Amino acid sequence: MVELLLPKNSKVKNGKNFKSKGNNKNRKKFLIYRYDPDSNDNPRVDNYDLDISNSGPMVLDALISIKNKLDPTLTFRRSCREGVCGSCAMNIDGTNTLACTKYISDVKGPIKVYPLPHMPVIKDLVPDLKGIYKQYNSIEPWLKTKTANNEDRERIQSPKDREDLDGLYECIMCFCCSTSCPSYWWNGDKYLGPAVLLQAWRWIADSRDEASEERLEKLQDSFKLYRCHTIMNCTKTCPKGLNPAKAISNIKKKILARN
C-alpha cells in the first residue's frame, strides 16, 4: 500500500491558548489558523476563548475583538464590513464565505477559521491572490468596442439587454467559488476557475461589447474552460447567491453554437 505523507513543514500543529476576561456565560471558542512566514515554525491552530457580549454579531466582529483585546499579531484582510468588497473571504466552519456576513450564532460549537483553501498563504488568514488576479487580467475585463461612438455619450443599452447582466455584475471577486472548486485545486495554473469564467461571461453577455468572438476564441481551450466538471461547489458557496456554474455552461453553449 502506498503511504502518502505531507511535507513536515506543512503539518498543522496545536498552537497557543488565549482567554478573554468577562462574562463566562456568553463565550465562544475560535480555532484560528496561524502561519508566520518569517519563522521556521509549522502552521498552527490557536485557541481563542472570547467573551462576545460586547462584540458584534458577525465572525469578522469577533476577529477584530480578538486582534484588539487578545492577540494583536493575528492577521486578516477586511475593508467594507458590508459584504461588497470580498476582502474578508475565508473558510469558516468548513465553508468558504465572507467573515463580515457570517453570523457567529450560525455556528454550533467552536468556530474554525482558516484561509481560503488551496491558495498560498502570505500570513495567517491572508491568501496570496496574485495568480488568480493574473488570470482575471487575462480575460481583459473591460468593455471592448470597434465602432466609434458618434453620439459622444454613454453607449445605449436596452432594459432587456441590461437584464442579461443580472447575476453577473454583482460578483465581488472574493474567490470563494474558485477556491471551493476541486478542478481549480488540481489545475489552478491552467484552469481559469469559476470566478474568472463568470467574469468572462459577464463581458460576452454584454450587448455593448463587440469582442465576443475574440473572447470565445481565447476561452476555447481544454484547460482554461473545459476543466469544469459541474461539481457545483462554486454555486453552493457563493456568498452573493450567484451561479458561476451557469455562466460557465453558457460559455460552453456559445462556443458549441459558434462551431
Note down pLDDT in tens along the chain; length 259 residues: 666 676 777 788 999 999 988 777 889 999 999 999 998 899 999 999 999 998 999 999 999 999 999 999 999 999 999 999 999 999 999 999 999 999 999 999 999 999 999 999 999 999 999 999 999 999 999 999 988 777 677 888 999 999 999 999 999 999 999 999 999 999 999 999 999 999 999 999 999 999 999 999 999 999 999 999 999 999 999 999 999 999 999 999 999 998 7
Q: Rounded to whole angstroms, how far apart are CA atoms 70 and 85?
A: 26
Q: What is the pLDDT of residue 8?
A: 74
Give the H/E segment covering residue 237. helix 233-237
CATH 3.10.20.30 domain locations along the chain: 8-127
CA distance 199 to 169: 8
Domain 130-146+156-258 in CATH 1.10.3720.10: no
Annotation: CATH topology of 8-127: Ubiquitin-like (UB roll) (3.10.20)
Considering the chain, tell me which residue range(s) the CATH 1.10.1060.10 domain(s) occupy. 130-146+156-258
208, three cell numbers: 455593448
pLDDT at residue number 151:
66
N-terminal to C-terminal alpha carbon distance within the chain: 47
Res 22: pLDDT: 79
* Cβ(63)–Cβ(74) below 8 Å: yes
Give residue 73's pLDDT.
Answer: 97
Handedness of CA 42, 45, 47, 52 (dihedral sign): positive
Task: Let me know if 154 is exposed, middle or buried by CB neighbors in 10 A (0-12, 13-18, 19+).
Answer: exposed
